[in-house]
């Protein structure tokens, strides 16, 4: 991991200020996307127990096989 970081730093040292701004924006985008994915996953996981009472019932058991 450290070698990858060092390689990235070396590459960054050769970038223009404009490119560094773009790279920084892209890193921010990736972090935001990852956070959004984690929030969606956590929300889905947290809502499973709330919906279990609605989903797990005899009336809808025919849909379980679909």
Judge whether 23 and 15 are in contact, CB under 8 Å: yes
The pLDDT confidence band at residue 7, using thresholds 50, 70 and 90, is: very high
pLDDT digits (tens, 9 = 90+) for 14-62: 999 999 999 999 999 999 999 999 999 988 888 888 787 777 777 777 7
| HEC sequence for 24-60 | HHHHHHHHHHHHHHHHHHHHHHHHHHHHHHHHCCCCC
d(CA 48, CA 36): 18
Tell me, rounded to whole angstroms, the distance of Cα 56 from its chain centroid: 29
Residue 59 φ/ψ, nearest 5 degrees: -60, -35
């Amino acid at each position: 991991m450290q070698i990858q970081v060092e390689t990235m730093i070396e590459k960054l040292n050769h970038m223009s200020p404009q490119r560094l701004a773009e790279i920084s924006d892209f890193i921010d985008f990736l972090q935001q996307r990852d956070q959004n994915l984690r929030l969606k996953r956590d929300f889905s996981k947290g809502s499973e127990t709330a919906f279990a009472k609605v989903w797990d019932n005899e009336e809808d058991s025919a849909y379980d096989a679909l």
